[in-house]
Structure 1
Amino acid sequence: MMLVVLLIIWALGTLVFFIDPKKTFIRWASVTAFVGSGGFLATVIEETLLPFLWQHQLVLPGTEQLLYRISTGSSFLCQVGLPYAFLMFAVHSGELFRAKTKTFLSCLTLLPPLLMLLVTPIYPVLQLNYWLLAAWVFPYFFAASWILLTLYRREKEPHLRKSRFYTNILIIVPLLLMFILLYAMRIQHNYEAWRYNAIVVGIQFVFILLISVKYGFLGVRFRIERRRLDSTLRAITSGTQILNHTIKNEAGKLSLYAERIHSYARKTNQPDLQKDALILAESSRQILEMMNRIQGQLQDIVLREQWIDPGSLIEQVADHLQPDAAAHQVEIKAALQANPLLNCDPIQLREILTNLCRNALEAMPSGGTLSLKATLLKRHYLVTVSDTGTGIDKDNLRHVFDPFFSTKKGGNNFGLGLSYCYSAMQKHQGKLEIYSVLNEGTTVSLYFPRKRVLLPKEELNKEVNA
């Protein structure tokens, strides 16, 4: 049992690390998992590995002593290091503190664990003072929990807020139970209660898997979906280039022979054959146009970046769509809360917004409201396109980014609009997310990284003085 739990924690720590090892809070999340596994490692050594070695007479000189040192050392590391690792994960999980403050807190809060190292006999028998340990362990836990909850309350971005909500549930609640069983119960001289942590870890692992599939945990679901879409787009692009070349050649032949047939029919005065030739020529033209459109939306996007006023561009898109909106009895509202400069490809951004707005108009055949909003957040410049239309059901929502998937009925729609928008946002190091409720409406959010935003001098002064 303990060996299984140990392997689960190690697998979870490894998975978390490879989500994005460049991010400090991800590294601390992984460290928290591995440090927290120390108690289970000690038990596996003493109750599984050593008995196995004794039974099969595999104990070499010095091996037993080495394994006991590893056991007591890992147990000490777990009980003393886990609170510190959890606190560091919380400190680095957001921008609640400045970089210098984070460094200061990292050094300051390391003092109690170092003190425990100085006053605690570790080998041959680990002798921890649990009253002294509890004096700083529980404040660390509650401080870390307060930081995580504060970051959740302050989070404005919907997808990050949801991610923080489930991350807090999956981390704070299990750790509270573990801390009670590991520290509080030992103060009461119950030294075996910690074994119930194996059940806590097992339940936590199951819930992490379930939540990761549906909502995402520390970004796992998003990265898996993004990689799947990226590989799909690459495969589709490669295949379409070959198909496009072949179809264009054959359509060119159709057009050439249609021209000859039409010319022959005109000379020989055969009006019915002329009509057939014109239909054939029109069909070949439509095939060529269709393939050009498909190729244009799947080919690799090359950005021509410049600093622009995104608010002006958004207003231009809204003005351009006004006649279509009026025809659909749709009111367009634009709310631009910030006036920064954005480093982007204006043509691509215009195409993204036009695509999204046209989708919104088509979703409101009986009228409604199309809202365009721009907001400057702490880490992103957020542009949202919202409608009060038919919405998208859950089954279709998971496929909206798939190339050639479409809920629209029409021969001129190839289901490539959102795939193109997604790719264009990836090129801008940003992301595109969709939130939709059936029969209530849809909101598409475009997140541009903060490094692409340049504030005017007066805004910069406000930011510095804030």
Structure 2
Amino acid sequence: MLTAEQKLKERIKELTCLYEVTSLIVNCDYDDMETALLGIVQCLERAWQFDEETYVLLSTPDFFIKTEEKGEDYVFLESVITVFNKPKGEIKVGYPSPKYQLKDFLEEEQQLLDNVCLKVGNLLERKEIKEKEAHIRRQVEQSDRLRILGEITAGIAHELNTPLANILGFTELLQEHISNDPQALKDLDKIITNTIFSREVVKKLMFFACEMPETREVINVVEVMEEAINMLRTTLRQNEVSCEFEHSEDTIELRIDKIQLTQVVFNLIVNAIYFAPPKSTISVNLGIEKENIILKIADQGPGIPEESIAHIFDPFFTTKPVGEGSGLGLSVVHGIVQSHQGSIAVTPNTPTGTIFTLKFPKK
């Protein structure tokens, strides 16, 4: 039985603990939550009656924090941490067993523990709200940037089309007039090749800016995939890479723009060829899962660096050397897939490489 003086001392410890916990929460840096939670755990350790033998453990899906253990077995007071009315962890305060039993805890200590768990739950709620607000803000900013960028790229594409067509046309005319000069013909071939490459970049810009006309119709995706892969056979052979195409059915129908689907397949397979080592295999798999058509393209290259994954669908972002990639391929793919209410995800291949998984809803 505690004396009046002992009871007063315990109440002071509990009130001090609540004050310190509140101060930690008010001044918490959401980017360094672990420091704040460690401080809360240490406050609880000091607030218990037998503080020198108290052991405190806080656990959530993201954090596991505890004080120094004072024994092997413990008897615990426990309280649940709730976040948005759902249990998301707990705090346990214990004494070494069998030296102490549950009856050695004070009734007020359970109330204190419940109060602290409530405050920790509120802190985690505020952190989650802040993260969602930051995510929404980033989405809005990204959407606004893409809208402006779309307008700019549409203008650039239109401006470039005419001079590129002129360069290509006049170069072809020159070829007819200097057929007796082999070196000049080689130089003109280089001009034509680079002009065609530039025109393809312009097409990608127009795809990105949604300036290309779209015609959706029900097509057999298997046939489109086979045609696209066959057109890339020369490129595959030159890079000593093979491509295997598997499909669960001979006819898999989808309402989609055929040209845009071909653009998606070309971009992903050409990317895979670029990064695939010689003698390796690119696997293309097409199937149906419930109400979705799933397309997977896997290579055996070095894989995408973890720090780049968040940016691979950003316009003009590329991991290729300067001059070897426009940074628009995957951005175009992402835009086309989204415009068809689909999704695209990237995951590591095993043991090495990358898998792009595209999901289109059946219609």
> Shorter-chain TM-score: which interval?
0.5 to 0.7
* Distance change in 2, residues 1:355/1:226 (3 Å): farther
Match in the other structure for 1:123: none
How far apart in 1 are the matches of 2:231 and 2:193? 31
- Aligned match of 2:207 in 297, 305, 319? 297
Are 1:428 and 2:340 matched, yes or no? yes
Are 1:325 and 2:246 matched, yes or no? no
Residues 379-398 of structure 1 show CA distances to partners (whole Å, capped at 9, x for unaligned) of 53221111111212122222
How far apart in 2 are the matches of 1:334 and 1:291? 27
- Secondary structure (helix, strand or coil) at the match of 2:244 reads strand
Within 5 Å, give how 1:78-89 maps onto structure 2. Answer: none
- Aligned match of 2:149 in 236, 258, 281? 236
* Distance change in 2, residues 1:375/1:205 (3 Å): farther
Give TM-score, length-normalised by structure 2. 0.56
- Secondary structure (helix, strand or coil) at the match of 2:313 reads coil
Structure 1 position 417, deviation (Å) = 0.8
Structure 1 position 205, deviation (Å) = 5.2
- Aligned match of 1:194 in 103, 107, 114? 114
Residues 170-222 of structure 1 show CA distances to partners (whole Å, capped at 9, x for unaligned) of 889844539xxxxxxxxx8944432122124425654x489x6xxxx8x995x
Contact 1:307 1:341 (C-alpha < 8 Å) held by counterparts: yes
How far apart in 1 are the matches of 2:311 and 2:258? 28
Q: Which segment is superposed worse, 416-425 or 365-374?
A: 365-374
Give aligned pairs, total: 272
Match in the other structure for 1:93: none
Structure with greater strand share of residues = 2
- Aligned match of 1:400 in 301, 312, 334? 312
Structure with greater helix share of residues = 1
Residues 33-83 of structure 1 show CA distances to partners (whole Å, capped at 9, x for unaligned) of xxxxxxxxxxxxxxxxxxxxxxxxxxxxxxxxxxxxxxxxxxxxxxxxxxx
Are 1:443 and 2:363 matched, yes or no? no
Residues 397-445 of structure 1 show CA distances to partners (whole Å, capped at 9, x for unaligned) of 2221121222223636311111111110111011222224799211111
Percentage identity across aligned positions?
Answer: 20
* Distance change in 2, residues 1:294/1:345 (3 Å): closer
Structure 1 position 358, deviation (Å) = 0.7
Contact 1:372 1:385 (C-alpha < 8 Å) held by counterparts: yes
Give TM-score, length-normalised by structure 1. 0.45
How far apart in 2 are the matches of 1:326 and 1:291? 24
Structure 1 position 289, deviation (Å) = 3.0
- Secondary structure (helix, strand or coil) at the match of 2:90 reads helix
Q: Match for 1:195: what amino acid?
A: N
Match in the other structure for 1:361: 273
Within 5 Å, give how 1:58-457 maps onto structure 2. Answer: 174-175=87-88, 177=90, 190-197=110-117, 198-203=119-124, 206=127, 208=128, 227=140, 229-245=142-158, 289=199, 292-300=202-210, 301-337=212-248, 340-378=252-290, 380-409=292-321, 411=323, 413-436=325-348, 440-449=352-361, 452-453=362-363
Q: Match for 1:330: what amino acid?
A: V
- Secondary structure (helix, strand or coil) at the match of 1:376 reads strand
How far apart in 1 are the matches of 2:86 and 2:283? 39
Contact 2:208 2:332 (C-alpha < 8 Å) held by counterparts: yes
How far apart in 1 are the matches of 2:155 and 2:314? 20
Q: Match for 1:233: what amino acid?
A: L
Q: Match for 2:318: what amino acid?
A: S
* Distance change in 2, residues 1:225/1:432 (3 Å): farther
Q: Match for 1:292: what amino acid?
A: V
Contact 2:157 2:203 (C-alpha < 8 Å) held by counterparts: no
* Distance change in 2, residues 1:417/1:226 (3 Å): farther
- Secondary structure (helix, strand or coil) at the match of 2:312 reads coil
List runs of 5+ in structure 1 lacking aligned partners: 9-137, 139-168, 179-187, 454-466
* Distance change in 2, residues 1:447/1:434 (3 Å): same
Match in the other structure for 1:143: none
Contact 2:283 2:298 (C-alpha < 8 Å) held by counterparts: yes
How far apart in 2 are the matches of 1:314 and 1:297? 20
Contact 2:242 2:281 (C-alpha < 8 Å) held by counterparts: yes
Contact 2:298 2:349 (C-alpha < 8 Å) held by counterparts: no
Contact 1:392 1:438 (C-alpha < 8 Å) held by counterparts: no
Structure 1 position 5, deviation (Å) = 7.8
Residues 157-176 of structure 1 show CA distances to partners (whole Å, capped at 9, x for unaligned) of xxxxxxxxxxxx98898445
How far apart in 2 are the matches of 1:170 and 1:316? 53
Structure 1 position 370, deviation (Å) = 0.8
